[in-house]
Amino acid sequence: MLPEKQLFNNGSFLFIFVLVYNNPMSTKIIAGNWKMNPVTLKDVKSTFAGIKRSVSKVRGVSVLICPPFIYLPELKKMAMGGKVEVGAQDVSDKDQGAQTGSVSAYMVRDLGVKSTIIGHSERRAGGDTDEIVNQKVLTALTAGLKVILCIGEKVRDEKGQYLEALQKQLEKALAGFPVKLADRLIVAYEPVWAIGKNATGVETPDGFLHNKIFIRKVLSGILGKKKALAVPVLYGGSANAQNAGDFLGAGQADGLLVGRDSLNPKNFAEIIKIASLSK
């Protein structure tokens, strides 16, 4: 066990704390978010089959693919007997009822799907408030799902004021969180400013590690230190085959939430291979 002092000074408050790291998590998590892609079932099946073949002999990596809702039943069948699990990209904050176009966590669970992403930056941009994210988290847990909770600041400032935004997102999203279900929680850090065509910069492994430690501190106040240290923290800001090694190595990420490269079986296979060697 390696005790490590970390100092955070964001201009308005100072954190000095001792964080004790256990050995790195033995199983890395590589999750692929397909977003609204592909647009044909033929391409969906071809892409998934390519990924499934590429991980058949991989050890020490948990692989999850989150396709559009419409493809969940087909991919769930294809996933049987393999090492790739299928998850949802989102769920409703309601159990059932007059919610045209929505899909409930109970529907997802009834398909045999066990995980869902919640709070992705694109869903937040579409209107999901911290309160809605919180209700989605609680509903998904009640339905028996694991939750990949996405958080991330829109702007990175040099004084560290953005840490307040991360803390607020975590505390509000996890309000009323049943601590006994902490083993169903995964946090994915995705700095919005570093994602997509409107990116204003690139996150670094050191930057991620800084924020991972901060995330664990906030989680320790919600879940307790022991359970907080067991929650995987993934990196999800334009993660790809080129930067995977750095974030999993120097950045000490417990895994990655991959967007575009998860639709390319060759690139995704490379990321999974890198993860299998990152111990």
In the predicted model, is pLDDT for residue 106 greater than 50? yes
In the predicted model, is pLDDT for residue 56 greater than 60? yes
Share of the chain above pLDDT 70, in %: 91
pLDDT digits (tens, 9 = 90+) for 196-232: 878 888 899 999 999 999 999 999 999 999 999 999 9
The mean per-residue pLDDT over the stretch 46-57 comes to 94
Q: Which amino acids are annotated catalytic?
A: 120, 190
Contacts for 270 with CB less than 8 Å, ≥ 6 apart:
241, 244
For residues 137 and 117, what is the distance between their CA atoms, to the nearest angstrom?
Answer: 9
- Of the candidates 129, 122, 131, the residue with the CA atom closest to the CA atom of residue 188: 122
CATH homologous superfamily for the domain 27-36+106-279: Aldolase class I (3.20.20.70)
pLDDT digits (tens, 9 = 90+) for 121-164: 999 999 999 999 999 999 999 999 999 999 999 999 888 899 99
The mean per-residue pLDDT over the stretch 228-255 comes to 96
In the predicted model, is pLDDT for residue 268 greater than 50? yes
Using pLDDT thresholds of 50, 70 and 90, give the confidence band for residue 24: low
The mean per-residue pLDDT over the stretch 82-109 comes to 97
pTM over 0.85: yes
In the predicted model, is pLDDT for residue 253 greater than 50? yes
In the predicted model, is pLDDT for residue 85 greater than 80? yes
Place of tokens 């969940």: 72
For residues 69 and 60, what is the distance between their CA atoms, to the nearest angstrom?
Answer: 28
Q: By three-state DSSP, how is residue 134 classified? A: helix
Number of neighbouring beta carbons within 10 Å of residue 23? 8
